[in-house]
Structure 1
């Protein structure tokens, strides 16, 4: 931004120099063959370009010339002091005319600043989606560990009961061994589930980058409460996604930049026609060589004379510059036109991809909700069936094998319920990420960085 605005900065210029010239002369009024003139000059100027394309320059110049009075035809001041204040103005009328042409770089830089903020927002959306997925994996791992612990406890309870029945001579030893074998297998499953909790915990910590959380070895998480009211209809999801996704907004801004570049390239096709104007105030002073000059004086007198408008000079005119083939400007215009078409095509492809992603995520979410409901009913029925089989065992109508089978069925049903729940939550996360609204979902406000300075 600052780099583009710098073209409108005021530029100061200071120059000083000395020159000497030996001028040959054949004047009858001067006996010598040459005339030596020595000049000391200094100049200070301020230049500025305006948004309309106007180029302005205000300069103050002073000269001290010595040796000129030796010539009869020269000034009768030696040394002579000249002071000039000049205002030069040049306004383009075709090429480089107007705000659009001269502010093109600044307008494009302002849009790129917005793009940078949207890029930051897009990374935030992606990071939140990754954290949410890792959080759900940890919640799933912890739930699975609790259910495998429950399975171990059920096997232990069954083993304790079988040992009592064995001591009473009610069942054979094979019933006890079968329970012991099931207990060992479930302890192994419990250890594997504990390992899964540790890995999921580390994955979440790696994304959070929070020292306090990183030091917590026992981070317990819970599933958020389901709220179907935040699950938008498909048309609403498509509308929000096409209007709020940071990458789409960023791409649309890119088309604005391409239009600015195309407009500028179109302006550069014109020939250059400049309206030029100049106005000068002149002052003169010097040491009188006996001729009684009214301009006798020093530097200050010459400068005062300029401000008193002792001498003025002005100029106005038009200047036309026209490249006959203009190939560079035509090539730049063609390139800008092709770039805009490519950007529009990329935007169209991105919009189609976004719509497809939202449709897929929406369908997965709907099916995930139904699957979760079925999984809950299945788990409830498995629990009810196990209770009935335990009653049959107490009545002597069942055996260890059947009870263990129903226990396994319950644990499997609970794990499937957890998986269905996590998949549903992940589908919701994917949907809101595809819409670009997962920050709004959790009422997170991204602290966008301040890029550059105004």
Structure 2
């Protein structure tokens, strides 16, 4: 559980009330901030939901090839005035009861197959029907196989492959946003560390001015210095009070920014406390060279992998629309068997029953169907081709343009990555150099202030010079703080630009997502 421990307490108010600052000793570590941010940041949580959404899209597209069953029951009745001389009734009466069941499936090759079983019971008052009621059963196999347009596994699985790529892209988008969030938290954390340290320095500067004021008052009362020395120290305190207030404002703004990234809102127990940061790590010469960093980025950056998948998407679409330019030439075939049975009856133009071989009950019709007593078959080809074929040609040309756009986007991203890495390396290298220079400057300023303070005790210096040297010391420390923070922030930007900042902090938020970075295509 994330531990944000206590408050940096600094008394605000008039100079007389804001004389000291109390800082708690417990801190919020960078690792804790990163962990909480990855777990609770709302933008990242929204991005994460695109992964299960993409998974459902893949299932939806794959379900297109699932078998489909269908069943039907029907009944109908008909009575028609009769005009036949052979009819023994003024009306022709007919009643049908039917049932049908089918199983159909679309295959990756484009084959559409349907197996159906149909059965019917017909009763009529016709005097020429030898069976009444009569039972008919049919078993059909219908096949339709495209031979040109929509032929082949690649064409017919286009939407499935695109959905699978979108799922991969969603995972990479999530990983990319996680890396960028880690970078943002690092930058905000170091900004907070910068502002807190500068606030401490401003408070220290004010305390130095107060110590000088007390010493001047004692020397004034002893008649050693004029009142202007006291007034000058008081003026310095007022100016440094303003600097403390501004530094506190900067610290509070940095804390608010960090809270936003960590999703600390109203009602959260952590909302009412101010996070204090850990001490900065030591500065050392430990960063990769530009070529090494770029090679790592090309292999690890999730946004680069995502753009590669975008190129793959465009290639898939281009291949599909190239197929759609072909004529539609489909092979069609139907194979069926049927059987007939019923109750034998005499017909109007005979003296009696004629010994119909199809007599029997409903089950006899199924038995005769299974023996193939009746059969039918059909084969043929169907050709469809729009004259001019302009729509298909236009879609193919558009897909070609979109493919080139994706390639250009990949090249542009590669250039952007190189610029990000070189800029981050520049920030790291120059900040490292600034730290070394600022360290020397601070040592010189400390020595000068110490010497001038000793001269003041001997009556050889004045308040103006002491205050000036105090300012030099504080500004030297501020410069060093800024350089150190810029160094750490430069490293944060560098490792994010390389796509390895999660590994750098030992964070493997989702192993499946990290594996996606190295997936081909």
TM-score, length basis structure 1? 0.89
- The CA distance in 2 between the partners of 1:68 and 1:383, in whole Å, is 122
Q: Indicate whether 1:117 and 2:171 are aligned.
A: yes
| Aligned match for 2:486, one of 419, 423, 428 | 423
Mapped contact 1:26–1:33 kept (Cα < 8 A)? no
Q: Indicate whether 1:199 and 2:253 are aligned.
A: yes
Q: Indicate whether 1:175 and 2:229 are aligned.
A: yes
Mapped contact 1:59–1:87 kept (Cα < 8 A)? yes
- The CA distance in 1 between the partners of 2:285 and 2:335, in whole Å, is 74
Bigger shift: 247-256 or 155-164? 155-164
Deviations 1:210-232 (A, max 9, x none): 43432323x21134414646521
| Aligned match for 1:236, one of 292, 299, 302 | 292
- The CA distance in 1 between the partners of 2:487 and 2:238, in whole Å, is 33
Q: Indicate whether 1:258 and 2:314 are aligned.
A: yes
Mapped contact 1:35–1:70 kept (Cα < 8 A)? no
| Aligned match for 1:222, one of 278, 298, 316 | 278
Identify the residue that residue 434 of structure 1 maps to in structure 2.
497
Tell me the secondary structure at the aligned position of residue 330 of structure 1: helix
For residue 68 of structure 1, report the CA deviation from its aligned partner: 7.6
Mapped contact 2:93–2:126 kept (Cα < 8 A)? no
Deviations 1:382-415 (A, max 9, x none): 1111111122222332222211111111111111
- The CA distance in 2 between the partners of 1:128 and 1:400, in whole Å, is 48
Identify the residue that residue 6 of structure 1 maps to in structure 2.
63
Mapped contact 1:35–1:67 kept (Cα < 8 A)? yes
Q: What is the correspondence of 1:64-79 to structure 2 with a 5 Å cutoff?
A: 64-67=121-124, 70-71=127-128, 75-79=129-133
- The CA distance in 2 between the partners of 1:22 and 1:227, in whole Å, is 102
Tell me the secondary structure at the aligned position of residue 70 of structure 1: coil
Mapped contact 1:92–1:274 kept (Cα < 8 A)? yes
Deviations 1:122-155 (A, max 9, x none): 2222222222221111111111111112112212
For residue 58 of structure 1, report the CA deviation from its aligned partner: 0.8
For residue 181 of structure 1, report the CA deviation from its aligned partner: 2.4
Bigger shift: 183-192 or 405-414? 183-192
- The CA distance in 2 between the partners of 1:248 and 1:148, in whole Å, is 44
| Aligned match for 2:438, one of 375, 383, 402 | 375
| Aligned match for 2:108, one of 51, 56, 72 | 51
Taking a change above 3 Å as real, the CA distance of residues 242 and 195 of structure 1, as seen in their structure-2 partners, is same
- The CA distance in 1 between the partners of 2:192 and 2:313, in whole Å, is 44
Q: What is the correspondence of 1:34-49 to structure 2 with a 5 Å cutoff?
A: 37-49=94-106
Unaligned runs of 5+ in 1: none
Bigger shift: 349-358 or 43-52? 349-358
Q: Indicate whether 1:18 and 2:76 are aligned.
A: yes
TM-score, length basis structure 2? 0.79
Q: Indicate whether 1:445 and 2:502 are aligned.
A: no
Mapped contact 1:136–1:223 kept (Cα < 8 A)? no
Deviations 1:278-297 (A, max 9, x none): 32221211011122223222
| Aligned match for 2:160, one of 103, 106, 109 | 106
Q: Indicate whether 1:80 and 2:134 are aligned.
A: yes
Taking a change above 3 Å as real, the CA distance of residues 57 and 36 of structure 1, as seen in their structure-2 partners, is same
Identify the residue that residue 37 of structure 2 maps to in structure 1.
none
Bigger shift: 141-150 or 391-400? 391-400
Unaligned runs of 5+ in 2: 1-57, 346-352, 514-521
- The CA distance in 1 between the partners of 2:284 and 2:100, in whole Å, is 77
Identify the residue that residue 408 of structure 2 maps to in structure 1.
345
Mapped contact 1:117–1:448 kept (Cα < 8 A)? no
Tell me the secondary structure at the aligned position of residue 291 of structure 1: coil
Bigger shift: 234-243 or 321-330? 321-330
Deviations 1:15-39 (A, max 9, x none): 3243648698889x77899965543
- The CA distance in 2 between the partners of 1:286 and 1:64, in whole Å, is 9
| Number of aligned residues | 445
